[in-house]
Structure 1
């Protein structure tokens, strides 16, 4: 079974830097909740993962079906319910024909890793990392 890891390193306050496949991302909270507003908040990144993965899935399916995409946009909106989203709505718009777009959406739903992961509610395990010798710590 393949796996993928992304590492976050705390910087200060409510801000951290995330190494996502060699691409650094700054994640923070808004000032209204104690952050410094230097980057998107984690829930925005979750919605970004949903909208970007579904966009890529649509483009993949369009290429396989020979459909030319015109001005494709995917918006993911989460509705808060306490410390989680109660629902996420994905809205797809494009200048291509609506019937073709509906077919692409159906196909994309089958191959989008992020939406499939959220639908299947994966087990989440939180564990304490193995202790390293302090001399080995960078």
Structure 2
């Protein structure tokens, strides 16, 4: 991954053939033209969880119409961090009862979630080029 600074409060990452641009909100001095890095972090949890639910359903020919995920963040105001993320999976009435628990178990396999539970070491270094 290569990260660059295209101007203003924007930060851009080039990774696996994709360019991901982030920006800060206008309240934080940015243009609000793209999600913030933290917005993308939260979205990665939701979309990863959603992917595992979708894959579970597709393997069993269960329609995904009407399935939605909602995430609510519980903030720790003293530490200024999120201390819990509640993900609610809304299933349609016709979702097979016998697969509800298994669907949630599949969602638990989200690799983003698993990396948060067992975080990698992040090593920062500096070098002049």
Answer whether contact 1:77 1:89 (CA < 8 A) is retained: yes
TM-score normalised by structure 1 residue count = 0.76
Which residue in 1 is equivalent to 2:114?
116
Aligned 1:8-87 pairs, distance under 5 A: 8-81=3-76, 82-87=79-84
CA distance in 2 between counterparts of 1:80 and 1:20 reads 30
**How many residues matched?**
125
* TM-score normalised by structure 2 residue count: 0.80
CA deviation vs aligned residue, 1:23-45 (integer Å, no higher than 9, x gap): 22220111111111110011110
Q: Which ranges in structure 1 are unaligned for 5 or more consecutive residues? A: 1-5, 133-138
Q: For structure 2, list consecutive stretches of 5 or more residues without a partner in the other structure.
A: none
Partner of 1:104: 103
Give me the whole-angstrom Cα distance separating, in 2, the residues matched to 1:119 and 1:98.
Answer: 30
CA distance, structure 1, for counterparts of residue 112 and residue 5 of structure 2: 25
Residue 47 of structure 1 contacts residue 77 of structure 1 at CA under 8 Å; is this kept in 2? no
Q: Is the 8 A contact 1:77 1:88 kept in 2?
A: yes
SS in 1 for 2:64: coil
